[in-house]
Amino acid sequence: MEFQRHRGFSITIKLTTWLLLIATVSITPSHAVPRRGPYDEKPRYRNPITEIKYASPSCRAHVSSLTEFGGVGDGTTLNTDAFRSAVEHLSQYSSTGGGMLYVPAGKWLTGPFNLTSCFTLFLDKDATILATQDVNQWPLIDPLPSYGRGRDKPGGRYSSLIGGANITDVVITGDNGTIDGQGASWWQKFHKNQLKYTRGYLIELLYSDRILISNLTLVNSPAWNIHPVYSSNIVVSSKTILAPVHSPNTDGINPDSCSQVRIEDCYVVSGDDCVAIKSGWDQYGISYGMPSQHIVIRRLTCISPPVLSLRLEVRCLVASKTSVPKT
Ligand SMILES: *[C@@H]1O[C@H](CO)[C@@H](O)[C@H](O)[C@H]1NC(C)=O
Ligand SMILES: *[C@@H]1O[C@H](CO)[C@@H](O)[C@H](O)[C@H]1NC(C)=O
Ligand SMILES: *[C@@H]1O[C@H](CO)[C@@H](O)[C@H](O)[C@H]1NC(C)=O
Ligand SMILES: *[C@@H]1O[C@H](CO)[C@@H](O)[C@H](O)[C@H]1NC(C)=O
């Protein structure tokens, strides 16, 4: 393990992993708690393990199957409209017990779609959501404010396969069903510098609260796998994340400007970081000033190439929201 300090307030912890790495890490820096004034009581120790609440598993009073919306699980029919109409339909129940979209056994090809509040996406054990390789099916969206630009290319970026913004009580789970990003064609285009915009991720939720992502297998994401941003009360558990160890930027789980996060019991084989805790990107992240804090990572098995496996970009962890250091 190597500690590296750069730009004064960024610490990267490198875990070099040629072999199986079993990491049990709790990140609870005492100074992650915002500093208090001299007249306040002494800071109360917050235990993130007990304080991070599970997303309500009860958001599934109304259940629909994807087939009710015209979905065809043959691996070749595009189901983007079926997913979008199903979510739209179930969003009407967000204040009356919530809606659950059941994805039955089959291979469900789709372009990106967004989730809604008080919602469960549930995959059968033999269900695979297949991301379309047709670039034109991936809508372009703005860069994140704490990134200022796309990571691969300047300007906008492709949507993530499963997205959502400003939502609460979201569950993405199943009997270990599969979400397959079919990333090979994206990796190839990336290596040949043929992409005009930044690749999409498998799951990205913005400005959201109470998120549970569990019991699924994610394979071959075009880029990162799970990316919660500007969100809180997040549990990621019992995930298997697989991508070739030479695939570009296939990070496992990247909480970014998030608080109250618990990542546990996951098995990650990927081409880049297993878990990377982020707070935006360089100067954009600093000026956005939203730290990642109160994060627990435990019982993870990570296999990566001999690069970074666990990356903690803690520059903003050590600063409270109101005192992020300026360059
Ligand atoms: C999904 O949500 C993102 C973030 O708000 C938005 O930019 C995008 O247009 C939405 N996509 C769809 C298909 O509605
Ligand atoms: C979500 O909330 C953020 C912050 O309040 C706001 O800037 C953004 O426009 C909202 N996005 C959507 C899609 O509602
Ligand atoms: C996870 O999926 C497995 C495999 O189908 C199933 O046996 C198990 O009950 C699921 N666990 C949870 C917590 O849902
Ligand atoms: C889920 O599926 C993956 C891939 O088939 C497997 O390696 C893993 O053990 C399964 N997890 C559970 C909890 O059944």
Which residue's CA is the closest to the ligand 3 atom numbered 3? 175
| Mean pLDDT across 236-252 | 94
**pLDDT at residue 287, rounded to an integer:** 86
CA of 164 to the centre of ligand 1 (A): 7
How far is the C-alpha of 31 from the C-alpha of 288, rounded, in Å? 20
Answer whether residue 27 is part of any domain. no
Q: What is the CATH number of the domain that holds 218?
A: 2.160.20.10
How far is the C-alpha of 237 from the C-alpha of 299, rounded, in Å? 10
Answer whether residue 3 is part of any domain. no
pTM, entire model: 0.84
Q: Is 134 considered catalytic here?
A: no
Q: 297-323: per-residue pLDDT in tens?
A: 999 998 876 545 566 654 433 333 323
Confidence of residue 58 (pLDDT cuts 50, 70, 90): confident
Sort residue 148 into left (φ over 0), alpha (ψ -120 to 50) or beta: left
Q: 36-46: per-residue pLDDT in tens?
A: 333 334 445 55
**pLDDT at residue 12, rounded to an integer:** 31
With a pLDDT cut of 90, the percent of the chain lying above it is 63
48 membership: H or E segment, kind and range: helix 48-51
How far is the C-alpha of 228 from the C-alpha of 199, rounded, in Å? 16
CA of 176 to the centre of ligand 4 (A): 6
With a pLDDT cut of 70, the percent of the chain lying above it is 76
Mutate to test the pocket of ligand 1, among 110, 116, 141, 201 (most ligand atoms within 8 A of CB): 141
Q: Per the structure, how many domains does the chain have?
A: 1
Answer whether residue 55 is part of any domain. no
At residue 1, does pLDDT exceed 70? no
Answer whether residue 87 is part of any domain. yes
Q: 126-174: per-residue pLDDT in tens?
A: 999 999 999 999 999 999 998 888 788 788 899 999 999 999 999 999 9
Answer whether residue 111 is part of any domain. yes
| Residues in CB range of 246: below 8 A, 6 or more apart | 271, 305
How far is the C-alpha of 56 from the C-alpha of 99, rounded, in Å? 12
Q: Which two tokens stand for residue 286?
A: 């600093």
Q: 199-210: per-residue pLDDT in tens?
A: 999 999 999 999
Spell out which residues line ligand 1, taking CB within 6 angstroms.
112-114, 139, 141, 159, 163, 165, 206
How far is the C-alpha of 187 from the C-alpha of 118, rounded, in Å? 34
Answer whether residue 234 is part of any domain. yes
At residue 30, does pLDDT exceed 50? no
Pick the ligand that lies closest to the CA of residue 164.
1
Which residue's CA is the closest to the ligand 4 atom numbered 11? 176
Domain of residue 301, residue span: 67-323
Answer whether residue 142 is part of any domain. yes
**pLDDT at residue 73, rounded to an integer:** 98
**Please, are residues 79 and 106 in contact by the beta-carbon 8 Å criterion?**
no
65 CB within 6 A, ligand 4? no
Which residue among the candidates 169, 251, 272, 273 is catalytic per the annotation? 272
CA of 247 to the centre of ligand 2 (A): 32
How far is the C-alpha of 243 from the C-alpha of 158, rounded, in Å? 20
Answer whether residue 134 is part of any domain. yes
79 membership: H or E segment, kind and range: none
CA of 176 to the centre of ligand 3 (A): 6
